[in-house]
Amino acid sequence: MSLSASSSLSVVILAAGKGTRMQSAKPKVLQTLAGKTLLGHVLDTCYQLDVDDTIIVYGFGGDQVKTTIDNQYAHLPITWVAQTEQLGTGHAVKVALDKLPKEGQSLILYGDVPLVSNQTLTSLKSANTDGMSMLTLTVANPFGLGRIKRNSNGHIEAIVEQKDANDDERLIAEINSGIYCVDNALLHKYLPKLSNDNAQQEYYLTDIVKMAVADGVTIAAIEPEHAFEIEGVNNRQQLASLERAWQNKMVADLQVAGVQFADPTRVDIRGSLSAGQDVFVDVNVVFEGDCVLGDNVYIEAGCIIKNAQIGNACHLKPYCVIDRTQVGAGVDIGPFANLRPDTVLADNSKVGNFVEIKKSTIGHGSKVNHLSYIGDATVGTGANIGAGTITCNYDGVNKSQTIIEDNAFIGSNSSLVAPVTIGENATVGAGSVITSDVDANALALGRGRQVQKADFVRPTKK
């Protein structure tokens, strides 16, 4: 039976390392994987659990780490503890001891081990029935890693670090991940007793295992579903390898859900992506933030999609950028369209090549086919916006609205100077500069009269 008298759960995240091998002025835990900081991945996973308190032990670049995380996770209660000297993992947890309650349990995690899953941590917590549980993994090459030493009954009796291991111990293939769930009562009992009498002259957190065994505590061990869950990051090569492992996992999950990738190795998901059935994603497409795709969406090469919702049966042609945009069903977009934040495209609308739209709504069945800029505008249903049309929404100080009502027709190369309203069924002649409202069913022309000079002689070079 667990020694915990309370079911409270704390998390201690060790994030004090410099990461010298990263060759970066940025602290290691602020390096990014799949568009998110390493430490951010750990925090996001923790808060899928029912966590009562999160303690982050910081050190190198502490101000930068605190500022970044506090800005991104202002809604989360985080306790910061400084580790002014890096004297080992045991020392790192020990400096947080004053912040830990005497009861309940604590998960001990690492800011540079970003991909441990919610499911694994839930299992780890459930496995702690006698005071301590830990993540282990059997690997083909355990070199450099702490070995799990078991007794004749198969129970864990110690963790032996590589430099302290004898020849027989180095043959052990089961390794320690460093991730634990421990009763707080045990942490308060064991951490003050840690010694640095070892080859590294560091305070090993692993020594609490030996102390628990001496007290008769049965230590539970579970293995994660995926080996990458316990992989840490120490250099750029490891970061790239872990990035690809994570991308492969996300792509595989989406394939199971019915998404077809032209090449699963040439897509990046930097956030979350959910998709319906019969979705096709071509090469070099990047998803950022939270993206949702409906059924039968077809995305061609090179598109960048950020925090967007794409409705059923949409077709995104090559090299479109879609950012914070809501797209209805049956919409055709691109190629080379740029949909900026707060754009809404209604069902069956069309946005063509080299069109930029910002903070605008394009109504059902309306078309903006070529080389246009539509900003701060509301376009009704069935409207046609000719090639080269722009809404002149900025006077140098203020942004103003353009309203184009149902079934309006805007001729090519027109400039609509906001604030202005183009009425229902109105027509704007090509090449017009429109500075006043246009009535419904009217034709508006706003261009200079054509002048012709016969037998004109061009200037010649002197």
For residue 205, what is the enclosing H or E element? none
For residues 316 and 322, give the distance between their C-alpha atoms in angstroms, rounded to a whole number: 10
Annotated catalytic residue: which of 226, 315, 364, 370?
Answer: 370
Query: Does residue 1 have a pLDDT over 80?
Result: no
What SS3 state is found at 79?
strand
Residue 229 pLDDT: 97
Residue 188 maps to which CATH number? 3.90.550.10
- Residues making up the chain, counted from first to last: 462
Count of domains forming the chain: 3
Kindly report the backbone phi and psi dihedral angles of residue 227, in degrees, each rounded to the nearest multiple of 5, phi listed first.
Answer: -60, -35
> How far does CA 218 lie from the centroid of its chain?
38
200, 207 contact by CB (below 8 A): no
Q: How confident is the model at residue 6 (pLDDT cuts 50, 70, 90)?
A: low
Q: Is residue 362 part of a domain?
A: yes
For residues 418 and 394, give the distance between their C-alpha atoms in angstroms, rounded to a whole number: 8
Q: Is 451 exposed, middle or buried (0-12, 13-18, 19+ CB in 10 A)?
A: exposed
Domain co-membership, 46 together with 137: yes
Domain end (from 301, 325, 341): 341
Domain co-membership, 326 together with 457: no
Q: How confident is the model at residue 245 (pLDDT cuts 50, 70, 90)?
A: very high
Q: Classify residue 254 by its DSSP letter.
A: H
Domain co-membership, 355 together with 425: yes
Domain co-membership, 186 together with 309: no
Domain co-membership, 222 together with 190: yes
CB 201: neighbour CB atoms within 10 A?
10
For residues 31 and 65, give the distance between their C-alpha atoms in angstroms, rounded to a whole number: 11
For residues 333 and 341, give the distance between their C-alpha atoms in angstroms, rounded to a whole number: 16
Question: Tens digit of pLDDT for each residue in 410-462?
Answer: 999 999 999 999 999 999 999 999 999 999 999 999 988 889 999 999 889 88
Query: Does residue 347 have a pLDDT over 70?
Result: yes
**226 a catalytic residue:** no
Sequence-distant (≥ 6) Cβ neighbours of residue 108 within 8 angstroms? 12, 14, 93, 178, 179, 180, 181, 182, 205
410, 416 contact by CB (below 8 A): yes
Query: Does residue 83 have a pLDDT over 70?
Result: yes
Domain co-membership, 297 together with 437: no
- What tokens does 277 get? 């059935």
Domain co-membership, 38 together with 68: yes
Which residue in 31, 449, 34, 80 sits closest to 251, CA to CA? Answer: 34
Question: Tens digit of pLDDT for each residue in 273-300?
Answer: 999 999 999 999 999 999 999 999 999 9
Domain co-membership, 179 together with 325: no
Higher-scoring residue by pLDDT: 4, 352: 352
Which residue in 185, 189, 134 sits closest to 4, CA to CA? Answer: 185
Residue 306 maps to which CATH number? 2.160.10.10
Q: Is residue 82 part of a domain?
A: yes
227, 137 contact by CB (below 8 A): yes
For residues 256 and 119, give the distance between their C-alpha atoms in angstroms, rounded to a whole number: 19
193, 142 contact by CB (below 8 A): no
Which residue in 323, 318, 315, 283 sits closest to 296, CA to CA? Answer: 315
Domain end (from 184, 211, 230): 230
Question: Tens digit of pLDDT for each residue in 7-46?
Answer: 799 999 999 988 899 999 899 999 999 999 999 999 999 9
Domain co-membership, 348 together with 329: no
Dump strand ranges (E) for 151-243: 156-160, 174-183, 220-222
Domain co-membership, 132 together with 182: yes
- What tokens does 350 get? 């069309």
Domain end (from 320, 341, 362): 341
- Residue 289, CB-side half-sphere exposure with 13 Å CA sphere: 12
For residue 385, what is the enclosing H or E element? strand 384-385
- Look up the domain containing 137 and give its range: 9-230
Please, what's the b/e burial string for 29-56 (b: 16 or more CB within 10 A of its CB; e: otherwise)?
A: bbbebbbbbbbbbbbebbeeeebebbbb
- What tokens does 201 get? 């002259």
- Residue 97, CB-side half-sphere exposure with 13 Å CA sphere: 18
